[in-house]
Every structure is written in structure tokens, then in C-alpha cells.
Chains A and B, each alone.
Chain A
């Protein structure tokens, strides 16, 4: 069977939406910069690409129409390359990888740009025209539940205290800051509009400072802005191709895709989505959680990240070694490709056989990708 590999990973810096350094940069500009860098880095002939699969959680306004094809134009890809925009909310660009992997396996193309983008500065969460179905909103209101509420629900159901959440957030910031200081993030970052470094990381984050914040979503809650991923601007891209294509083009792949899965869950605890999806992916690969050396578990909220680790029996030492979304930021559509790319990169950098990238998705689902070292 054809092996699918992650051949390259790049991303823009991630910055706070609204007040950050990328607030004035359109999402398509960020994505185009990443695609250009992937092509340049790998030296491939872009005419050999099948498709640009672009994840975006709110594909409207400046990231609307079929932004994947527009980005292909902006990045100077030949007309022969197609483009499709995919939306699975926070899982959008991991879905890009899944679509490409499926296509490669069935011989429907050899090489894909699997990217994701989100300018949360320029296209608001919920979009410009939130228009829920009034009937569903009444009969099943949790279908539209706010993300913060779900984080509170998870914290309550899984008894994750505020102090635990804060300690987790501080660790995320410290890991990200250490990685940044050691230059471990530099290689993956593509400068955009003169911005070269991530902007959300707080090296001086402390439990004391976080303890002073007010609950962000529920007056008597435990979740604060400090234990939530921030609204972020950024774009990410991967070159996903067949092992054969990589060999033919002299590429040095980071890892191969072993199995993939998605799984639905109750929307009011959407943060637990990674549990079902990861279990499916592990089962499909025939391995146990304990076999996984590297885990990228998206930190939408500290409460759900902690609860998922606990449920899956994953040791935090293996999780988000270069920091997670609480520190780095979470540009919705761009995150999935980042954590797949990061997991692949870490397998190569730090060793180990298996890596898991997984994330929760608003509305009640999870997505997971299992990688294997080459």
C-alpha cells in the first residue's frame, strides 16, 4: 500500500488577534506566504502538486469564496494545481491532511499542500452573520454552545481545579518560551510582513498572575483568559505526499501517516473530542496510548487538555514539548496542520516511534492523526 508522508512543515508566526502584529495582514496573504515557503524549501516543481487543501473555520469575507484556489494564485502555483477549502472548525487543517492522505492512498494524486489559515482579527469567530437555526437552537441549544461554556463543563465533570488549569498554562508558556529561546521554533516560522517571531508566548507567566484573573465565561467558573487559548492570527502548511513521490524528488520526510480518525461527542463537552478520535486512531494502528512517544494535544483550554490526558492515560511529559495553543495561540483553521507538523518534527528531532496529534472541535467532535517515524 502507498505510504503517505509529511514531507515539510512551515507556519507564520502566531499573534494575538486584534492587538497583535498580524492584525492588519489578511488571512490569504499569510497562507500564500506559507505555501510559497513550502515550495521553495522543498524545491519541488509546483506543477506536480495535485491540490491545495485549505482548512478554515470561518471561510467568509477575506477568507471566503474558495480561498484555497485564491491562495494558489497568490503563491504563484501553476493553474494546473486545484484548490479546495475545508471546514471542520478547529480540526479544519488536520482534515486537510486526512483528505490528502485518503486521496494518495487511493491513487488520486501524489502531492498535496495541506494548509490552514485564520485571521481571527479580520473575520470574527461565529462569522459576520451568525444565523443559527431557530428551531434547533430551541430544541437542542447545546448545538450552538459557546466554547467557554464547554470548557467549564469539562472542568466540572472531570474535577479539574482552577489551580491545576493554571499550573498547566504556566507550563505551556514556559515550554514555548524555552523552545523559542533555544531557537527551536525558528526553522518552522515563515516571516510575514516583517514579523518573524510568535507573539502570544508569555515567558514570565506565573501561577500568581493567572490566579488574579476573573473567570471569562461563567461568573462562578474556573476557566479564565489565562487558561484558554487566545484568539489568534496565523497560517500553517504541510507538504503531504506519497513516500514514492518524496523519494523521487529527493525530499527528506519527517514522518509517515499511520492512521487517522474522527469521532463525534456531546457538544456541551466538546473538549473531550480527542478521547474518542484518538482511541479510534490507535485501534486502527493496533497500538496503545502508552506506545506513543510524542503527543500534540491541542490546548483549546487547559481543562480539556488535562481531562483528555487523564482519560487517555497519557503522561504530560510527552505532550506539547514546545508548548501548546495556550501559549502559542490557536488560529482555528491553522492549528491542525501545526500540530501534525510539530508531531512529525518532534519524532524526527527527539526520536520515538509513534506520534499522536489530536484536537477537540466545537460542536462536539474530535480528530486524531497517528504518525510513525521513518
Chain B
């Protein structure tokens, strides 16, 4: 049995978000709420929300909404029913009893509870229900957080757990982590303890909220919201609820319960509705564009300032934790609490430390899980620090001694098990990670910005690893060398993929600016031409090339993908030609390819203008697709390109796609286009002037748009003659070079490099 239709009950933030993610995966979903019309309103709200729970407009149509009171029958053909109603066991149990009357035999019911033990939820319910019941705990927001905690009861059918886990993994794209039936499961237990410690210690040691967030942020690998920014994001009023539930379910001597404290300032904030971003501000608030921060001592606000403490400049976590200033003492205290607590909970809450680390990375977006953090400071250091503080040393820390929790043995990543020996970090069936391949092999080619790896079965993988994966001459050079190797038969297909946060943020504009400042125009032009040649080499290679992006693929990064024969994209891929933001136009075939894609798109009106107008609109406004699904609508991906929901399965999907294309492969031929020339330019210029009148286009926008229009309309061509791709590529180069020589563009490039934001000049 597999899951073809899903029911979600409760259209709050979590329930609605889970339903949206099911729909994002292309699976029909019924969303019910106890409030009449509440589910329909939730869908409306989600269609307007940013960040968007839906990956496009089409998924929203897969959600059928209804009222719990009258529409329970809509769940009759659902294979999996996920309950996400109020956190009250009696209410949940009453609902489950109702479900028994409508759900189909063999269907699975799960609760998205974050606090109630599974045992309490099945009390008094029929035996048949308990075998079909489990906990599936998603993280907020369900679309973006990759963790799914799964808890099974003693009576839960193994095949039910397997079915829901497989659906969570392959269809919803989550990493499924099996948890024990303990309060808060894994991530909220440790995350909650960390937040509590981070708040308590900030009060005790007299840190400002900015200082506390700075320590928790980059040094510990926690998102830069730190702890107070995170509280603002999730809602400060959530704190007392979590505390109450933990107090009710954990033993009184648990370190978490021992540390529970009420801070009068925070109680006042909640009473006054200062519950964070959803309320009237929180620890931070924006007033007339100015960011204010709250004084923890008295709840008053002042201008937010960047913390200036010596210890915060330290890159080494241990050195930070040993520094005598207050940030150092704070880091020491928080690390001891959090790492010591985590070490004490295995195997109570999870079978392995690898599961705990995965849960914290994916559920709280930490860069390192607690055991990876312990490896960074060293287990012996932690043990010594705990002893010095008079705290108990968890058994696991005594067991490990001077060793580390993770090691690489014969090219395999291993973790330290509770049995005192190392085990390979398990990978789900079908998962292929470049990181694993890299541990056990040496690259076929390598320079400082890119490498080529053998990923088996005759497929090579081109990896970018420059800063932010910005494209530079090294990467372009390696593309050329890789293609040359492939031409000689070293491999039969190529995948372009990396495991960085961003696929590529585009060309390294710092290099371009440097060259422009010394008027090295020849060098710049040859870099543009080199880029065009590299892209063309990819497209015209005698073997299939498959792009496998995740995260941002901007500018040149987008152009690399436009020149692949096929793309298998992680659903969370954000792609676009954003060159105008730095006063430039796509110069590596982006203009040419988009013209061709729109010209060849089915259902496009005929004539020379529609493809030009579409490409112009997208590029001139630097549109970025907010999902792979949206990228397809924008023709940045083809309708035949694949969308992979689980990032860990991306490389395997791309490799399979590449291999499937090998037999009978022929590269795409060069095309001719019918472009309008001057008349098209006049039409686009009118559109730009209208934007100027509306105050939406700046003077330098007009300059950039002129160059873009000239390229996209084919320069001096006429629509009765054919314009070749080579001619458009030449126009791309000319436009790019001409713009780079303008003051406006140089100012934009400089501003972007300095601030990371586009200059509106």
C-alpha cells in the first residue's frame, strides 16, 4: 500500500503548512478545521504568505478544504491522516474516536504533537487504532524545515511506520529521524534546553540581546537569529506553554526542569502583547526603519548596536568559551548546559548520536549538531569543564574518553555508538551524497574553485567549491578540462552538483570590478568569451550533462544550468538571471537561451515579440523563481526537467537521469531566431519609459535596459532574416562590456560587493 491521498486535520500554522507541503509534492490533500471556513481561510492566507508555504499556484489547487463538523467523510479515501489540532490529549482522543467511523481499513493516523507522549494519545482507544497510529512531528515551517521526527508505539504496525516514513522521505522530502517516545522527542528537548540556557545565562551574566545572539549565532553555527531573534520569530508566548508541558512530563530532577525560570521582563512582554514579529515587536522591534533592541534589565528599548567584544572575533569555539569576557563566559555556560544535556540523553531519546545531530541540523537549522560541536571543542575539554563546574559527567562522555564522536575510517564517516564502538553513519536506501564519495576517493581534476569526481557507473560530477560557489576563471577552466576528458571517453555522462548551501551565486563580480578598475578590458572580454565557450562546451559535449542544483542558482549559476541537457533540481532551488542588479546583462548565453526557450515554448503567441518581451520582463526585473516548480513556469527549467523533493536524493536522481540519456544521445543543435530588431527595441523602450514614469525604474535602469533590449531584439537585425545564436552571443558580450564601462554599473558592482544589496541608481 502506498499513500495516494492525505488528510490533515487542524488548519493552524502547522496543519496548513503540512497540507501545503503534501500538495507541493503533487499529492491531493484534504484539510479540515474545527472552525467553519477555517481551512479555506488558511489556504487563502498561505497563498499570500512570505516565505510561501506553497511552491507555486498549482499545488494550492490540490488542497480540498472542509469543516471538521460536517466534512469528516472527505477523509474516507485518505491513506494517511495527520492530526495537527490543539495540544490536548482529550481533544485528540475524541477526534481519533470519530475518525474510526470514517477512515478506510489500513489507513494510518498520526499526530503532529510536539509535547504529548504517544502512549497518552492512544489510551482507551481500540486495539486496531493503536496499531495504525504513530507520531509524525514536523518543524515550522513544514515546507522549509527538513526534519520529520517519527515515533512509533509498542503496538504500531511496522509496515505503517515504513509507509509513512517512506512518504515523508521520498515524497515530502524530509529526513526521517526515528525518536523514542519521550517528552519533546529529540529536537525540541535539546533545542528547548538550549533556549532556556541561552536566555537564563544572558540574564545572569548581563549580556545584551545582541551579544547573546552573536555568541549563539556564527560561533556555535546556529542561525544568526541566535536565541532572542528566534524567540521573536516563533512567538515569545510559546515559551511558557513549552515550559509547562516539559514540567508536566519530565521528571523533576531533569536538568531542563531544574533550569525552568520565569523572567519578569518576559512575562510583562507577553502580557503587553509584545510577543515577537507576530505581535507588537519583541526583543527586537523596527520603528520607522530603525532597529531597536530591548534591554533585558528593564524591558526598555534602545537603538540596536553591533556587539563589540574581543571574544566575538575568535574563530575557535573553544577559545571563545575560555575567554574571560562576558561573551566568553556566556558561551562557556551555554555550551556546557546544552552539550552536557545532549550527551546525557543518548540512548534515552534516540538510538544514536547521529540521529540527535541530524535532528538539530535539520529541525533547528544548526550547522553542527551537539556531538559535532563537542568534537569541535573536544570531549576531554567538555568533561574537564563539567567536572570543574561540579556537574555530573554523562556516561557517554566517560565512554568516549579522548576520542571524537565522529571519525573517517577507510573513507567512511563513522559515529560513536552507545556500545562503545564506531558505526558507519547510515544512509537511507538510494541516497548518494557527494560528501561520502569525496571521503573515499580522489578527484579526477581539481583546482582551487572546482573539482571533478567519479561518482560511479561512468558518471562524473563537477563540483564548485569557491566562496559562495561564485564562478571564476578556475571554474570555467575546469569545465573546459572536464569536457575535454569526457570527449576522450573518461566518462559517459556528467552531473553538475555540489552540496554547498547555494548552487552558485553567479560570476565573481569582484574579479570583474578589479579588472575594470585597472582598465583591463581585454581580460574582461576574454573572461566573458571564455564563459560563453565553457557554456557552449557543456551544451555541445558529445555526452549528456545534467544539472543538479539546490539553493540559489543566480546569474552565471543560472546560465550553467540553462546549458545543461537536463536538470534534476531540488525543490528548494531559487534560480534567476539577476545581472541587472549589478548593472549588467547575462553574458554567458543567458539572454540567448531564454529567447530560444520562450520562442520554442508551446502555447506562446506567434510573432517576433512575445519571446523577446518575456525574456526582457524576466531579466530586466531580475526575477528569481521561489521554487523549482516556479522555475518551470518561468522556463528557467524545462517542463521535462525533474524536481526532487529530498535534497539527499538529488545526486542519485541526476546520475540516473544522465545515465538514461546516454544511449542515442545527441547534443542540442544551434538554433536560429527571428528577432525584431529596432522596432522591438522601440516597443521595449516605451515599456521602460512607463516604468520610469511610475518611479519604478531609475536612470541607470534605463541604461541597462537599453543594452538588454538591444541584445534581446537582435541589434540591427530584422525579423525577416534569421539571427543566429552566435550573433546574439556577440551582442551579449558587447552589451556586457559597454555596461561595465559605465559609472552607474561600476557603482552598482561596488555597492553589491560592499553591502550585499543592489544599488538603485
Residues of B within 8 A of A219 (CB): 693-696
Contact present for A217 and B686 (CB under 8 Å): no
Instruction: State in angstroms the CA–CA spacing of A148 and B690 once bound together.
Output: 9
Give the segment of B239-247, B412-420, B505-513, B603-611 that binds chain A.
B603-611
The count of chain B contact residues (Cβ–Cβ below 8 Å) is: 20
* Whole-angstrom CA separation of A129 from B605 in the bound complex: 9
Tell me if A130 and B690 are in contact (CB < 8 A): no
B608 CB to nearest chain A CB (Å): 6
Q: Are A133 and B679 in contact (CB under 8 A)?
A: yes
A217, B676: Cβ atoms under 8 Å?
no
Residues from chain A with Cβ under 8 Å of B680 in the complex: 131
A138 to B681, CA, bound (A): 11
Q: Which residues of A contact B264 (CB under 8 A)?
A: none
Return the CB mask of B206-220 against A: 1 if under 8 Å, else 0. Answer: 000000000000000
Is A132 in the interface zone, CB < 8 Å from B? yes
Asked if residues A130 and B683 are in contact (CB atoms below 8 Å), the reply is yes
- Closest residue of chain B to A61 (Cβ to Cβ) is B605
Bound Cα distance from A148 to B689, whole angstroms: 12
In the assembled complex, the Cα of A52 lies from the Cα of B676 at a distance in Å of 35
Q: CB-defined interface of A209-232 with B at 8 Å, one 1/0 digit per residue?
A: 000000111111100000000000
Q: How far is the CA of A129 from the CA of B606 in the complex (A)?
A: 8
B676 touches A131 (CB 8 A): yes
Task: Give bound CA distance, A37 to B679, whole Å.
Answer: 42
- Are B682 and A134 closer than 8 Å at their CB atoms? yes
Give 1 or 0 for each of B591-614: 1 = CB within 8 Å of chain A CB: 000000000000001111110000
Verify B683–A149 contact, CB threshold 8 A. no
Instruction: Mark interface residues in A112-137 (1 if CB within 8 Å of B CB, else 0).
Output: 00000000000000101111111001
- Assess whether B694 is in contact with A131, with CB atoms less than 8 Å apart: no
A20 to chain B, nearest CB (A): 18
Could you tell me if B679 and A131 are in contact, using CB atoms closer than 8 angstroms? yes
For residue B685, CB closer than 8 A to chain A, the reply is yes
Q: Which residues of B contact A137 (CB under 8 A)?
A: 682, 685-686
Q: Could you tell me if A218 and B694 are in contact, using CB atoms closer than 8 angstroms?
A: yes
Docked pose: A61 CA to B605 CA in angstroms: 8
Given the known interface contacts A129-B605, A129-B609, the answer about A134 and B678 at a Cβ–Cβ threshold of 8 Å is yes
Asked if A80 is an interface residue, CB under 8 A from chain B, the answer is: no
Instruction: Report if A245 contacts B (CB, 8 A).
Output: no
How close is A107's CB to chain B, nearest CB, in angstroms? Answer: 42
Residue contact A129 to B693, C-beta cutoff 8 Å: no
Q: Are B686 and A129 in contact (CB under 8 A)?
A: no
How far is B666's CA from A309's CA once the two chains are assembled, in angstroms? 68
Q: In whole angstroms, what is the CA distance A215 to B683 when docked?
A: 23
Q: Report the bound CA distance from A133 to B686 in whole Å.
A: 12
From the candidates B608, B681, B685, B696, name the one contacting A129 in the complex (CB within 8 A).
Answer: B608
Dominant secondary structure of chain A at its interface with chain B? loop
Determine which of B609, B678, B693, B694 lies in contact with A130 in the assembled complex, contact meaning CB atoms within 8 Å: B609
Q: Are B695 and A134 in contact, CB atoms less than 8 angstroms apart? A: no
Q: Are A217's CB and B682's CB within 8 A?
A: no
Nearest Cβ distance between residue A222 and chain B, in whole angstroms? 13
Q: Do residues A128 and B607 form an inter-chain contact, with CB atoms below 8 A?
A: yes
For residue A288, CB closer than 8 A to chain B, the reply is no
By the criterion CB–CB under 8 Å, are B694 and A129 in contact? no
A-side contacts of B678, CB under 8 Å: 134
Which residue of chain A has the shortest Cβ distance to B678 in the bound complex?
Answer: A134
Using known A-B contacts A61-B605, A128-B609, A128-B610, determine if residue A133 contacts B682 with beta carbons closer than 8 Å: yes
For B683, what are the chain A residues with a Cβ–Cβ distance below 8 Å?
A: 126, 130-132
Complex CA gap A149/B694 in Å reads: 10
User: If A129-B605, A129-B607 touch, does A217 touch B693 (CB 8 Å cutoff)?
Assistant: yes
Give the docked Cα–Cα distance between A133 and B680 (Å). Answer: 9
Which residues of A lie under 8 Å from residue B679 when comparing CB positions?
A: 131-134
A144 partner residues in chain B, CB cutoff 8 A: 682, 686
Bound Cα distance A215, B694 (Å): 8
Contact pick for A134, options B605, B609, B681, CB 8 Å: B681
Cα A214 to Cα B609 with chains together (Å): 30
Query: A2 near B: Cβ within 8 Å?
Result: no
A144 to B681, CA, bound (A): 14
- Quick check: is A146 within 8 A (CB to CB) of the other chain? yes
Contacts of B695 in A (CB 8 A): 218-220
With a cutoff of 8 Å between Cβ atoms, the chain A residues found around residue B682 in the complex are 131-134, 137-138, 144
Among B607, B682, B694: residue with most chain A CB under 10 A:
B682
- In Å, the complex CA distance between A83 and B133 comes to 70
Provide the residues of chain B in CB contact with A129, threshold 8 Å: 605, 607-610, 676
Docked CA distance A148–B678 (Å) = 25
Known: A131-B679, A134-B681, A137-B682. A217 touches B605 (CB 8 A): no
Provide the bound-state CA to CA distance between A138 and B680, in Å: 13
Complex: chain A residue closest to B695, CB-CB:
A219
How far is the CB of B651 from the nearest CB of chain A, in Å? 41
B605 engages A149 (CB within 8 Å):
no
CB distance from B225 to the nearest CB of A (A): 32
Chain B 680-719 interface mask (CB, 8 Å, partner A; 1/0):
1111011000100111100000000000000000000000
Interface string of B657-693 (1 = CB under 8 A from A): 0000000000000000000101111110110001001
CB-defined contacts of B605 to chain A, threshold 8 Å: 61, 128-129
Docked pose: A219 CA to B693 CA in angstroms: 6
Shortest CB-to-CB span from B681 to chain A, Å, is 7
Point out the residues of chain A lying under 8 angstroms from B610, CB to CB: 128-129
Collect the chain B residues with CB atoms within 8 Å of residue A134's CB. Answer: 678-679, 681-682
Q: Which B-chain residue is minimally distant from A138 (CB atoms)? A: B682
Q: Which residues does chain B contribute within 8 Å of A218, judged by CB atoms? A: 693-695
Q: Which chain A residues lie closer than 8 Å to B694 at the CB level?
A: 215-219
Closest to A130 in B: B683
> What residues of chain B lie closer than 8 Å to A61, measured between beta carbons?
605
Residues of A within 8 Å of B606, CB to CB, are 128
Assuming the A-B contacts A131-B676, A131-B679, A134-B679, are A217 and B608 also in contact, with contact meaning beta carbons closer than 8 angstroms in the complex?
no
Q: A131-B609, A134-B679, A219-B694 given. 18 additional CB < 8 A pairs?
A: A128-B605, A128-B606, A129-B605, A129-B608, A129-B610, A129-B676, A130-B683, A130-B686, A131-B608, A131-B682, A132-B683, A134-B682, A138-B682, A146-B686, A215-B694, A219-B693, A219-B696, A221-B693
The 8 A-B residue pairs with the shortest CB-CB distance in the complex, in nearest-first order? A219-B695, A129-B607, A128-B605, A129-B609, A134-B678, A137-B682, A131-B679, A130-B683
Q: Please, could you name 18 A-B residue pairs with CB atoms under 8 Å apart, sorted by A?
A: A128-B609, A129-B607, A129-B608, A129-B610, A129-B676, A131-B609, A131-B679, A131-B680, A132-B679, A132-B682, A137-B686, A146-B693, A148-B693, A215-B694, A217-B693, A218-B693, A219-B693, A219-B696
